[in-house]
Amino acid sequence: MLYMHDLWVNWFEGEENGYNVCRFHEWRKEDGIELIDQIPLLLVTEDMFNFIENDLQDLPPSFLQEIHRKTYMKKNQERHTVEYAAVVTDGQDVIVFDTLGYTLPVKKSRLIPRQERLVFEMVQGKKPKSYLIEESTKKEHHILSLEPAHMSGLTRRERQLKQLLMMALDQLKHSDHPEEVRYWLTEWDPGQYPYIKQLSIDEAWERLYEGTRNGWTPFHEDLCGKMVKGQAFFETIWQGENLDKSHHLNSQN
């Protein structure tokens, strides 16, 4: 078995979509970077890699058995054993995961570029190993888990704010004030006001969702900022992302 040593990781917990496991250039100073002392490296098929990167389902028992207690973390100079963790690659991309003792990839991380290149060098000329993935529930994308195409090309901040906007839209759909839907659709597309008046609440919501789920523009950001106003939980996320934006701008000046 191949092993890697002194690996820097930046865990993202409970992420079922690979686009939320940020690449190195999107890591932030406040992220909790950890050092792995030793961890197994496995070359797997594309299907298996995709299953780990873009899902949160039980991993094959044979795969778990192979990596069981072979990872060590160092904390305060003490070496701790990790139940199930590994670096996996399909030869095209790389991801690290830790199950936190469960049987699914709860925490995921990317690698720093130098260590990513080392992975590709280590597996060069080797054959990927196949594992039997149980007949699982087919993953479905929805408003709170958008398809990768709808997040493609966005920065970490834009993805976070887009998810926030989708959370606000989802809440709007189930709110006690359905008439608000037409108001927000008019905010989004004021030129269509005469037409919007004739739409049912459901039609108006669908139109708002269809219009906002593609890309990210200043119009998306403006709508998001207005929709989360006065909602403590949403506002905290909004302020956190905008604080990060100002830090980023200051560091560039």
Mind listing the pLDDT tens digit for each residue in 40-73? 999 999 999 999 999 999 999 999 999 999 999 9
Whether pLDDT at 246 is above 60: no
The confidence score (pLDDT) of residue 139 equals 85
164 in the same domain as 84 = no
CA 85/CA 99 separation, integer angstroms: 6
Asked if residue 209 is part of any domain, the answer here is yes
Exposure b/e, 229-245, CB count within 10 A at least 16 = b: eeeeebeebbeebeebe
244 in the same domain as 167 = yes
- Tell me the per-residue pLDDT of 100-159, one tens digit each, with 9 for 90 and over: 999 999 999 999 999 999 999 999 999 999 999 887 677 889 999 999 999 999 999 999
104 in the same domain as 159 = no
Asked if residue 131 is part of any domain, the answer here is no
Owning domain of residue 246 = 148-252
Asked if residue 117 is part of any domain, the answer here is yes
167 in the same domain as 111 = no
Place 245 in a pLDDT band, splitting at 50, 70 and 90: low
**Domain count of the chain?**
2
- The percentage of residues in the chain with a pLDDT greater than 90, rounded to a whole number, is 86
12 in the same domain as 72 = yes
Higher pLDDT residue, 23 or 245? Answer: 23
Whether pLDDT at 247 is above 60: no
Of 217, 201, 236, 213, the residue nearest 165 (C-alpha): 213
CA 107/CA 205 separation, integer angstroms: 34
The confidence score (pLDDT) of residue 253 equals 41
The confidence score (pLDDT) of residue 76 equals 80
- Tell me the per-residue pLDDT of 159-201, one tens digit each, with 9 for 90 and over: 999 999 999 999 999 988 888 999 999 999 999 999 999 999 9
CA 244/CA 161 separation, integer angstroms: 12
155 in the same domain as 43 = no
112 in the same domain as 157 = no
The mean pLDDT of 201-223, rounded to a whole number, is 96
Asked if residue 29 is part of any domain, the answer here is yes
Q: Which of 123, 157, 175 is the last residue of a domain?
A: 123
The confidence score (pLDDT) of residue 25 equals 96
205 in the same domain as 103 = no
Asked if residue 247 is part of any domain, the answer here is yes
Tokens at residue 34, please? 């950890």
- The model carries a pTM of 0.89
DSSP string, 136-191: -PPP--BTTB--GGGTTT--HHHHHHHHHHHHHHHHHHT-S-TTHHHHHHHHH-GG
One-letter amino acid at 36 equals I
114 in the same domain as 7 = yes
Asked if residue 140 is part of any domain, the answer here is no
- Identify whether the C-beta of residue 107 lies closer than 8 Å to the C-beta of residue 95: no
Asked if residue 137 is part of any domain, the answer here is no
The confidence score (pLDDT) of residue 250 equals 45
The confidence score (pLDDT) of residue 244 equals 63
Q: Which of 90, 123, 156 is the last residue of a domain?
A: 123
Tokens at residue 184, please? 């927000």
Among all chains, which residue has been given the structure tokens 């996996």? 88
116, containing H or E segment: helix 113-123
Dihedral angle computed from the Cα positions of residues 151, 152, 158 and 160, in that order, rounded to the nearest 10 degrees = 40
Whether pLDDT at 249 is above 80: no
The mean pLDDT of 11-29, rounded to a whole number, is 96
Asked if residue 215 is part of any domain, the answer here is yes
Among all chains, which residue has been given the structure tokens 């399909």? 90
109 in the same domain as 13 = yes
102 in the same domain as 181 = no
CA angle (27, 30, 35) in 5-degree steps: 70
116 in the same domain as 21 = yes
Higher pLDDT residue, 76 or 240? Answer: 240
